[in-house]
């Protein structure tokens, strides 16, 4: 069984993430989308909320599981017997950061965890959770960026609607 993990903040999940999830789910038997509980960030949605949102957004893809973790990805992957991490690349600006993390994870894991990159579909290249939140906080239209139920939850957080 080929299992992979797609780790990230997913605060909240966007069509860009969902595009990566759908494509990666076709490459592996099981794709575990795992929300990182990063104490250094102040998220809009709690880890529990992000997990719930991801479960709803991926409910039609049977081989996707949703989970959360804190601490090092390599430890989480080892505990779950996973040897591949999936990450998305939007632009050259993502590349340097992602390359560094991928190389660190490979080294730290004793070459047990490799990273596979999926380049974004062009229509989602501009999309990030932070820009979606910023647009929504000013009451802007985010219907092209996130599923309808997610847009509603974001507006609720900003007391819009």
| 143 included as an active-site residue | no
Q: How far is the CB of 40 from ligand ADP (least distance, A)?
A: 10
Catalytic residue from among 23, 52, 83, 90: 90
Strands (DSSP E) found in 37-138: 64-69, 84-89, 114-119
The nearer residue to ligand ADP, 87 or 133, going by C-beta atoms, is: 87
Q: Is 12 in the site for ligand ADP (CB under 6 A)?
A: no
Asked whether the beta carbons of 20 and 153 are under 8 A apart, the reply is no
Catalytic residue from among 39, 41, 79, 159: 41
Q: Using CB under 6 A, pick the residue from 10, 45, 69, 76 that binds ligand ADP.
A: 10
Per-residue contact track with ligand ADP, 51 to 90, x per CB under 6 A?
------------------------------------xx-x
Going by C-beta distance under 8 Å and a sequence separation of 6 or more, which residues neighbour residue 5?
31, 32, 33, 34, 73, 76, 77, 80, 82, 84, 85, 86
What is the rounded distance in angstroms from the CA atom of residue 20 to the CA atom of residue 22? 6
| 133 included as an active-site residue | no
Q: Is 34 in the site for ligand ADP (CB under 6 A)?
A: no
Asked whether the beta carbons of 148 and 141 are under 8 A apart, the reply is no
Catalogue the active-site residues: 17, 41, 90, 129
């Amino acid at each position: 069984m080929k299992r992979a993990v797609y780790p990230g903040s997913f605060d909240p999940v966007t069509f860009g993430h969902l595009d990566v999830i759908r494509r990666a789910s076709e490459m592996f038997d099981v794709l575990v989308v795992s929300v990182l509980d990063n104490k250094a960030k102040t998220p809009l949605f709690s880890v529990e909320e992000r997990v719930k949102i991801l479960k709803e957004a991926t409910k039609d893809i049977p081989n996707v599981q949703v989970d959360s973790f804190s601490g090092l990805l390599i430890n989480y992957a080892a505990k779950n017997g996973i040897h591949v991490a999936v990450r998305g690349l939007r632009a050259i600006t993502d590349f340097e950061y992602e390359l560094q993390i991928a190389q660190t994870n490979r080294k730290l894991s004793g070459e047990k965890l490799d990273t596979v990159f999926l380049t974004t579909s062009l229509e989602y290249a501009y999309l990030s959770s932070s820009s979606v939140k910023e647009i929504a906080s000013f009451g802007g239209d985010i219907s092209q960026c996130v599923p309808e139920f997610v847009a509603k939850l974001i507006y609720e957080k900003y007391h819009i609607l």
